Chains A and B, each alone.
Chain A
């Protein structure tokens, strides 16, 4: 009766992951992607001939090892090259350079503060312990704390027990981490401003918060939980760009029989009697399936594709209240040569890692203040990499691509539109970076600016929020995306969610995609569909 067992809306990395797992379990799966390329925000595109941009996401660290293993991703040529360092140039010509070489990093930090060098060791150890403590939650279906259902109570008991087993001190440290601001948390450990600023920056990525905002210390941990080659905290670059990750997951899905169509944008989810039974494309074409999985955020899914007539008032309010304010932008550059940083002139290993424009906590906080009142940051925070330094295939010989992640760029501007402000924003980014690398303007061959508006229009991310919803404490775990619906299911029967708007949240993890697939399989096996 149905064409397919499952239709997945959107070929983002989570949607592709769900498709791969379902196909692997023998289901007949169709993935429908609006764009002409796969990957959603994990995508490589040759916008300027010869230069490959990781248009949106640019590093990977949190990709779940069980996904890599279970889908056998290395078989499809997945190679991740570690990003070994973070270089923070300072306005006075000095710099801070941390790397995977512990001894070197210690010496470098000691150059700024000897007590910080001591503390850095202990801090790293504590963060690893806490990452290990929280890790099991990433792979867990959030239990419902409001029900007497034995399975959920068991789940809650397991969570409770797990935390009790950590011991008192770690438990308190974890509580502090979950509730404090990254600045306050780091103030207790370090004194060097540039060090604190660079570290706290990972606490604010993708959020609408500043380093002094409570709840940002938690995100510090989120980005610490990477498991590249068993080494926590390593970030890496996928050879061929972020699109490689999506491509290999798509290859795995196809290998198991999934069908993937591009330029096939879904306009509506077809619902009858509270049950989803198919989708209708922009073109009018319809497909039917026993199960529909949306890889798209809840606002787009429910308010656009399902339609409010199928939602009860409470759920509609909850989805409307879901906070999804975008604050990030990307500027991708094609360069004729390497940028020359005053703080560390010439070519060097510092250009093969991350470059962080985060000279002080005030700097980042002021960048955030601008956004709070509806302006893009006059002096933005930037997280930069030169993929071509690690993977020469990304640009012609001797030339380079530069990926600049920028905050803050609020989706809602107080005056004007993003279309009007795009160039001014790009100019601000280039001007600011030029203060650190004065040759920049002379070497730019091409500039691509991806504003929150573009993230929404082109990549389907409502309000340009890169995590399909803010990672604030009131929208995490059993509260994500909305209370009562944290297990990938929705009020519409046979309609599921698998994107970053579900637990465990954003970042290129594929965790949501996998967990959603497992829940779907549980349901379909139960009903013997």
Chain B
């Protein structure tokens, strides 16, 4: 029987990060992946010949620069391409708003809609940048952890307290105030123009079950701005060669460090003896031993499918069951015969995020749909056309379009996703066509991934791309469940490293990174 220092269940981007860091510390690591390719939702697929779709995720701008440097991902082929412009938000009447990397040009653009908003935009970006920078600082704060009682370090608290005070009185209060706010209230305090407010606030509802008028969405906005961002909007995100190249670069880095990766191999059980994990059982019956087992699968899947419940406290299982992971996102990938012609023909504006969501009310209504178990027929769409920055993704003159759609709730009250998939796809086509006449005629191929498809294909419980909702009661020391927020689990030697752990989703690589550190520390302690 084979034996490793660590087995990672699932080669999602976090699992690969964990594996690489463990290998870097000279551990013998095996990664087992159910699918034929690595990467989980950070993947590219050529479903339609000649066109490379980024299957799920379509932006890597939040990926940790520390991980990129530590694992030398650039050497292994990772190249992040900037959004240019940052965002294009069309309105139905043909007007639009374009936000670019250049604050001067942007001020002019916004000024066409509101002089006062134009004057405030750059201060707004600076303010948000400072707040999200502080947020990423507190992400590093060691969190309470039942497996290591007393490990919640008061010294770390003092350090954070000091950094907090360094923000200055005004910023300190801003941070405390903004963190629980709604994104809509936040933008309402700064701006008057609807198109601008909606374009910024939508960043707070990505993957969220609630709309921008609900508390907690300002936190989401800040969370998504960590990384390549001007504060309010992400500035980069395309990966040359398709999103899958990020996962490929991670896999190459890991393999070069000695990690063994097996695809088309599924783990069906974690072997536990005396409340400790000792290895795994594969689908072919093969047993593999390991001193540590780290799961990149979502927390519910881990504990309800892979682990024997005998050793688990019923209260813990109840908490896991109560984790809210209601998927609200559908992904639509399209092969296009040419660029869409938005009213007033602004093809130069399509190299970043194309934002369909003209008002705060419009965005809020899409979230209402989720509440009542129906998909939005007037959805919020975050669209990119990565082939503009990277022509290798499609044949000459043609394009791939990646559409992130909300809301498409995992649980429908009427009908099934099988029967509604096409209706959803049609609704999305129609809405894009409302802004870009003739769009539907340019579509050569369409792939629609409903939350059910996301669950089936990628193993995401509830079809949730972040494994668990990023709500105020499911972050920090409450994520994935209160008391177990540092990658440990009630089973010794079994760890978690997916987006369902702190600091959450958004393709940062941080859960994987912090999980690896935790595994190494606990190994060093002799556990």
Task: Please name all residues of chain A whose beta carbon is closer than 8 Å to the beta carbon of B170 when the two chains form the complex.
Answer: 314
Task: Please name all residues of chain A whose beta carbon is closer than 8 Å to the beta carbon of B478 when the two chains form the complex.
Answer: 172, 175-176, 179
Task: Give the segment of A6-14, A40-48, A208-216, A270-278 that binds chain B.
Answer: A208-216
Asked whether B483 is an interface residue with its Cβ less than 8 Å from the other chain, the reply is yes
A175 to B483, CA, bound (A): 12
Asked if A214 meets B173 with Cβ closer than 8 Å, knowing A323-B185, A372-B364, A472-B180, the reply is: no
A356 to B222, CA, bound (A): 39
Asked whether A94 is an interface residue with its Cβ less than 8 Å from the other chain, the reply is no
Taking a contact as CB atoms under 8 Å apart, the answer to whether A213 and B210 are in contact is yes
Asked whether B172 is an interface residue with its Cβ less than 8 Å from the other chain, the reply is yes
Taking a contact as CB atoms under 8 Å apart, the answer to whether A214 and B482 are in contact is no
Out of A180, A213, A314, A323, which one reaches B473, CB within 8 Å? A180
A411 to B394, CA, bound (A): 53
A313 to B482, CA, bound (A): 42
A375 to B151, CA, bound (A): 52
Taking a contact as CB atoms under 8 Å apart, the answer to whether A214 and B177 are in contact is no
Asked whether B448 is an interface residue with its Cβ less than 8 Å from the other chain, the reply is no
Taking a contact as CB atoms under 8 Å apart, the answer to whether A148 and B180 are in contact is no
Taking a contact as CB atoms under 8 Å apart, the answer to whether B482 and A212 are in contact is no
Asked whether A479 is an interface residue with its Cβ less than 8 Å from the other chain, the reply is yes
A181 to B473, CA, bound (A): 9
- The chain A residue with its CB closest to the CB of B213 is A372
Taking a contact as CB atoms under 8 Å apart, the answer to whether A146 and B177 are in contact is no
Asked whether B368 is an interface residue with its Cβ less than 8 Å from the other chain, the reply is yes
Asked whether A321 is an interface residue with its Cβ less than 8 Å from the other chain, the reply is yes
A172 to B482, CA, bound (A): 6
Asked whether B275 is an interface residue with its Cβ less than 8 Å from the other chain, the reply is no
Out of B177, B214, B473, which one reaches A176, CB within 8 Å? B473
Closest Cβ of chain A to B358, distance in Å, is: 15
Asked whether A420 is an interface residue with its Cβ less than 8 Å from the other chain, the reply is no
Task: Please name all residues of chain B whose beta carbon is closer than 8 Å to the beta carbon of A176 when the two chains form the complex.
Answer: 473, 478, 482
Taking a contact as CB atoms under 8 Å apart, the answer to whether A474 and B173 are in contact is no
Q: Contact mask A437-475 → B, CB, 8 Å, 1/0?
A: 000000000000000000000000000000000001110
Closest Cβ of chain B to A300, distance in Å, is: 20
Closest Cβ of chain A to B123, distance in Å, is: 12
A199 to B105, CA, bound (A): 52
User: Number of residue pairs across A and B with beta carbons under 8 Å?
Assistant: 93
- The chain A residue with its CB closest to the CB of B315 is A169
Closest Cβ of chain A to B106, distance in Å, is: 23
A446 to B331, CA, bound (A): 57
A484 to B171, CA, bound (A): 12
Closest Cβ of chain A to B215, distance in Å, is: 4
- The chain B residue with its CB closest to the CB of A160 is B157
A175 to B477, CA, bound (A): 10
Asked whether B200 is an interface residue with its Cβ less than 8 Å from the other chain, the reply is no
A209 to B322, CA, bound (A): 23
Task: Please name all residues of chain B whose beta carbon is closer than 8 Å to the beta carbon of A148 when the two chains form the complex.
Answer: 165
A145 to B172, CA, bound (A): 8
Q: Contact mask A411-437 → B, CB, 8 Å, 1/0?
A: 000000000000000000000000000
Taking a contact as CB atoms under 8 Å apart, the answer to whether A145 and B176 are in contact is yes
Taking a contact as CB atoms under 8 Å apart, the answer to whether B173 and A473 are in contact is no
Out of B165, B173, B185, B210, which one reaches A479, CB within 8 Å? B173
Asked if A321 meets B189 with Cβ closer than 8 Å, knowing A145-B172, A214-B210, the reply is: yes
Asked whether A365 is an interface residue with its Cβ less than 8 Å from the other chain, the reply is yes
Taking a contact as CB atoms under 8 Å apart, the answer to whether B172 and A214 are in contact is no
Closest Cβ of chain A to B317, distance in Å, is: 13
Q: Contact mask B185-221 → A, CB, 8 Å, 1/0?
A: 1000100000000000000000000100111100000
Asked whether A152 is an interface residue with its Cβ less than 8 Å from the other chain, the reply is no
A178 to B215, CA, bound (A): 11
Closest Cβ of chain B to A190, distance in Å, is: 13
Asked whether B324 is an interface residue with its Cβ less than 8 Å from the other chain, the reply is yes
Taking a contact as CB atoms under 8 Å apart, the answer to whether B473 and A214 are in contact is yes
Task: Please name all residues of chain A whose beta carbon is closer than 8 Å to the beta carbon of B185 when the two chains form the complex.
Answer: 323, 474
Taking a contact as CB atoms under 8 Å apart, the answer to whether A479 and B176 are in contact is yes
Taking a contact as CB atoms under 8 Å apart, the answer to whether B213 and A474 are in contact is no
Taking a contact as CB atoms under 8 Å apart, the answer to whether A373 and B473 are in contact is no
Asked if A214 meets B371 with Cβ closer than 8 Å, knowing A148-B165, A175-B478, the reply is: no
Taking a contact as CB atoms under 8 Å apart, the answer to whether B180 and A146 are in contact is no
Taking a contact as CB atoms under 8 Å apart, the answer to whether A212 and B173 are in contact is no
A483 to B180, CA, bound (A): 14
Out of B173, B189, B361, B473, which one reaches A146, CB within 8 Å? B173
Closest Cβ of chain A to B101, distance in Å, is: 29
Task: Please name all residues of chain A whose beta carbon is closer than 8 Å to the beta carbon of B181 when the two chains form the complex.
Answer: 472-474
Q: Contact mask A167-183 → B, CB, 8 Å, 1/0?
A: 01000100110111100
A474 to B177, CA, bound (A): 5
Taking a contact as CB atoms under 8 Å apart, the answer to whether A473 and B180 are in contact is yes
A478 to B177, CA, bound (A): 10
Complex interface residues of chain A between 340 and 394 (CB less than 8 A to chain B): 362, 365, 369, 372-373
Complex interface residues of chain A between 465 and 500 (CB less than 8 A to chain B): 472-474, 478-479, 483-484
Asked whether B471 is an interface residue with its Cβ less than 8 Å from the other chain, the reply is yes
Closest Cβ of chain B to A350, distance in Å, is: 31
Asked whether A188 is an interface residue with its Cβ less than 8 Å from the other chain, the reply is yes
Closest Cβ of chain A to B201, distance in Å, is: 14
Asked whether A108 is an interface residue with its Cβ less than 8 Å from the other chain, the reply is no
Asked whether B19 is an interface residue with its Cβ less than 8 Å from the other chain, the reply is no
Taking a contact as CB atoms under 8 Å apart, the answer to whether A179 and B361 are in contact is no
A148 to B172, CA, bound (A): 13
Taking a contact as CB atoms under 8 Å apart, the answer to whether B361 and A373 are in contact is yes
Asked whether B169 is an interface residue with its Cβ less than 8 Å from the other chain, the reply is yes
- The chain B residue with its CB closest to the CB of A177 is B473
- The chain B residue with its CB closest to the CB of A373 is B361
Out of A179, A314, A365, A369, which one reaches B180, CB within 8 Å? A179
Complex interface residues of chain A between 213 and 238 (CB less than 8 A to chain B): 213-215
Asked if A168 meets B215 with Cβ closer than 8 Å, knowing A214-B210, A321-B189, A473-B180, the reply is: no
Asked whether B135 is an interface residue with its Cβ less than 8 Å from the other chain, the reply is no
A473 to B175, CA, bound (A): 12
Closest Cβ of chain B to A236, distance in Å, is: 31
Q: Which of A214, A362, A373 has most B Cβ within 10 Å?
A: A214
Closest Cβ of chain A to B184, distance in Å, is: 10
Asked whether A184 is an interface residue with its Cβ less than 8 Å from the other chain, the reply is yes
Closest Cβ of chain B to A318, distance in Å, is: 9
- The chain B residue with its CB closest to the CB of A414 is B361
- The chain A residue with its CB closest to the CB of B146 is A168
Asked if A365 meets B172 with Cβ closer than 8 Å, knowing A179-B472, A214-B214, A321-B189, the reply is: no
- The chain A residue with its CB closest to the CB of B324 is A184
Q: Contact mask A298-339 → B, CB, 8 Å, 1/0?
A: 000000000000000010000001010000000000000000
Task: Please name all residues of chain B whose beta carbon is closer than 8 Å to the beta carbon of A479 when the two chains form the complex.
Answer: 173, 176-177
A314 to B170, CA, bound (A): 10
A168 to B322, CA, bound (A): 18
Closest Cβ of chain A to B497, distance in Å, is: 22
Complex interface residues of chain B between 358 and 372 (CB less than 8 A to chain A): 361, 364-365, 368, 371-372
Closest Cβ of chain A to B223, distance in Å, is: 15
Task: Please name all residues of chain B whose beta carbon is closer than 8 Å to the beta carbon of A184 when the two chains form the complex.
Answer: 324, 471, 473
Out of B180, B322, B371, which one reaches A215, CB within 8 Å? B180
A474 to B178, CA, bound (A): 7
Given A168-B482, A172-B483, 13 other A-B contacts at CB below 8 A? A145-B176, A146-B173, A168-B483, A172-B478, A175-B482, A176-B473, A214-B473, A215-B215, A215-B216, A372-B213, A474-B185, A474-B215, A484-B169
Residues of A within 8 A of B (CB): 145-148, 168, 172, 175-176, 178-181, 184, 188, 209, 212-215, 314, 321, 323, 362, 365, 369, 372-373, 472-474, 478-479, 483-484
A and B contact pairs by CB, cutoff 8 A, 20 listed: A168-B144, A168-B482, A172-B483, A175-B477, A176-B482, A179-B471, A184-B471, A209-B214, A209-B215, A213-B214, A215-B180, A321-B189, A373-B361, A373-B365, A474-B176, A474-B215, A478-B176, A479-B176, A483-B176, A484-B173
Residues of B within 8 A of A (CB): 144, 146, 165, 169-170, 172-174, 176-181, 185, 189, 210, 213-216, 322, 324, 361, 364-365, 368, 371-372, 471-473, 477-478, 482-483
List of 5 A-B pairs having minimum Cβ-Cβ separation, nearest first: A172-B482, A483-B173, A473-B180, A179-B472, A179-B473
